[in-house]
Protein backbone atom coordinates (compact mmCIF):
# COMPACT_ATOMS: atom_id res chain seq x y z
CA UNK A 1 0.00 0.00 0.00
CA UNK A 2 1.28 3.42 -0.96
CA UNK A 3 0.91 6.47 1.29
CA UNK A 4 0.29 9.84 -0.35
CA UNK A 5 -1.01 13.27 0.54
CA UNK A 6 -3.73 15.03 -1.40
CA UNK A 7 -1.09 17.38 -2.80
CA UNK A 8 0.92 14.45 -4.14
CA UNK A 9 -2.16 13.03 -5.80
CA UNK A 10 -3.18 16.36 -7.33
CA UNK A 11 0.23 16.94 -8.85
CA UNK A 12 0.86 13.53 -10.35
CA UNK A 13 -1.09 11.44 -12.82
CA UNK A 14 1.12 8.44 -11.94
CA UNK A 15 -1.00 7.75 -8.85
CA UNK A 16 -4.04 7.11 -11.00
CA UNK A 17 -2.19 4.54 -13.11
CA UNK A 18 -1.25 2.43 -10.11
CA UNK A 19 -2.42 -1.10 -9.37
CA UNK A 20 -2.18 -0.75 -5.58
CA UNK A 21 -4.46 0.90 -3.08
CA UNK A 22 -3.28 4.34 -1.96
CA UNK A 23 -3.69 5.46 1.65
CA UNK A 24 -4.42 9.21 1.59
CA UNK A 25 -3.01 11.32 4.42
CA UNK A 26 -3.54 14.92 5.49
CA UNK A 27 -0.14 16.46 4.77
CA UNK A 28 -0.15 18.85 7.72
CA UNK A 29 -1.75 16.75 10.43
CA UNK A 30 -0.42 13.37 9.25
CA UNK A 31 -3.89 11.91 9.78
CA UNK A 32 -5.49 9.33 7.54
CA UNK A 33 -8.21 10.78 5.31
CA UNK A 34 -9.18 7.73 3.29
CA UNK A 35 -8.16 5.44 0.48
CA UNK A 36 -7.96 5.53 -3.30
CA UNK A 37 -9.02 2.23 -4.86
CA UNK A 38 -7.84 1.70 -8.46
CA UNK A 39 -10.18 0.55 -11.21
CA UNK A 40 -8.69 -2.98 -11.25
CA UNK A 41 -10.18 -3.60 -7.77
CA UNK A 42 -13.63 -2.25 -8.70
CA UNK A 43 -15.52 -5.57 -8.69
CA UNK A 44 -13.99 -6.84 -5.44
CA UNK A 45 -14.40 -3.49 -3.73
CA UNK A 46 -18.01 -3.14 -4.94
CA UNK A 47 -18.83 -6.56 -3.43
CA UNK A 48 -17.28 -5.41 -0.15
CA UNK A 49 -19.29 -2.16 -0.15
CA UNK A 50 -22.50 -4.03 -1.05
CA UNK A 51 -21.96 -6.41 1.88
CA UNK A 52 -21.50 -3.51 4.30
CA UNK A 53 -24.61 -1.72 2.95
CA UNK A 54 -26.70 -4.90 3.18
CA UNK A 55 -25.61 -5.45 6.78
CA UNK A 56 -26.43 -1.82 7.65
CA UNK A 57 -29.89 -2.06 6.06
CA UNK A 58 -30.66 -5.36 7.79
CA UNK A 59 -29.70 -3.88 11.14
CA UNK A 60 -31.98 -0.91 10.53
CA UNK A 61 -34.87 -3.14 9.39
CA UNK A 62 -34.40 -5.29 12.49
CA UNK A 63 -34.67 -2.19 14.69
CA UNK A 64 -37.84 -1.13 12.87
CA UNK A 65 -39.42 -4.57 13.23
CA UNK A 66 -38.54 -4.69 16.95
CA UNK A 67 -40.16 -1.28 17.44
CA UNK A 68 -43.29 -2.40 15.58
CA UNK A 69 -43.51 -5.54 17.73
CA UNK A 70 -43.60 -3.38 20.85
CA UNK A 71 -46.32 -1.10 19.42
CA UNK A 72 -49.70 -2.70 20.26
CA UNK A 73 -52.51 -2.84 17.71
CA UNK A 74 -55.44 -0.81 18.97
CA UNK A 75 -59.14 -1.11 18.15
CA UNK A 76 -59.94 0.15 14.67
CA UNK A 77 -56.36 -0.18 13.37
CA UNK A 78 -55.03 -2.72 10.94
CA UNK A 79 -52.19 -5.21 11.35
CA UNK A 80 -49.04 -4.65 9.27
CA UNK A 81 -48.35 -8.40 9.04
CA UNK A 82 -44.94 -8.30 10.74
CA UNK A 83 -44.50 -11.14 13.22
pLDDT band at 81 (very low <50, low <70, confident <90, very high): low
- Residue, of 74 and 24, whose pLDDT is higher: 24
* Distance between CA atoms of residues 13 and 60, nearest Å: 41
* Distance between CA atoms of residues 19 and 63, nearest Å: 40
Read off the pLDDT of each residue in 1-28 and give the average, rounded to a whole number.
81
Burial readout 6-22 (b: 16 or more C-beta within 10 A, e: otherwise): eebeeeeeebeeeeeeb
pLDDT at 80 over 70: no
Amino acid sequence: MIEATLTNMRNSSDFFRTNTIIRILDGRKKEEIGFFVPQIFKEEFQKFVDTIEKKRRLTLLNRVSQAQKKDPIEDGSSDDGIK
